[in-house]
Structures are given as structure tokens and as C-alpha cells.
Amino acid sequence: MFAVVKTGGKQYRVAEGDVIKVEKLDGEAGKSITLDEVLMVGDAKGIKVGEPLVKGAKVTAEVLEQKKDKKITVFKKKRRHNYRRKVGHRQEITVLRVTKIAGAAAKKAAAKKTEEAAAE
């Protein structure tokens, strides 16, 4: 089972047990957080795509640590003008382990209801 989650302006494809690095979220190490912006949920039977979000779908993750990412260097230069600027930046990130993906149960229940209606 997998899901596509939106957080920090980016989208991540996650499955249970995956470890991902996302932009800083509130929460201490060891705490559990819920990601509500689920764009798609899928399993072996098929996928469910939201419009834009899947209703009732949630991804629960455990915060492993809060840290800073590797340093990037921003260098600006204008040739022949003696203009040079060098700045470094380290983005704060949160490392998460996905523990549970909820939302496929509603899909299975809806499929059973349509099968029962077709049988009658």
C-alpha cells in the first residue's frame, strides 16, 4: 500500500515503513504526527485519486529527528563589475518514518456496497 502526500510545497510517494526528509514540521523526536493532505492512495487492487484530496485518508508518521540539511552555496556574480556575493544556507528538515496509511478501507466498503446493489 502506498500514498502520495503533500507537505512543505512538495509531494512524496510513501509506503509504510519508509523514512523521508521533509521541510520542518512541528513536533519533537518520538512524537507521532498526522499528514492530512493525501493526494492519492493505492494498493494491489487499484488506486484512488483525490480531487484534489482523498477524503478520509490520513498518513501517520513518527518524528525521528529534527535537524539541518546539508549546506548549499548561493554564489552571485556579474562579470566585469567586480560584483561577487557568496552566501550559504542550511534548510531545517524533519525526518519521518511512515507508520500507517489509512484511507483504503473506505474504498473497499464502497466497493462492497456497489456489489451488493448489483446483486439485488
pLDDT tens for 3-55 read: 999 999 999 999 999 999 999 999 999 999 999 999 999 998 899 999 999 99
**Eight-state DSSP code of residue 40:** E
Kindly report the average pLDDT of the chain as a whole number.
90
Predicted model pTM? 0.76
> What are the strands of the beta sheet with 92-102, ordered from one edge?
19-23, 92-102, 58-68, 32-35
Determine contact, residues 38/59, Cβ cutoff 8 Å. Answer: yes
- What's the whole-number mean pLDDT along residues 94-100? 97
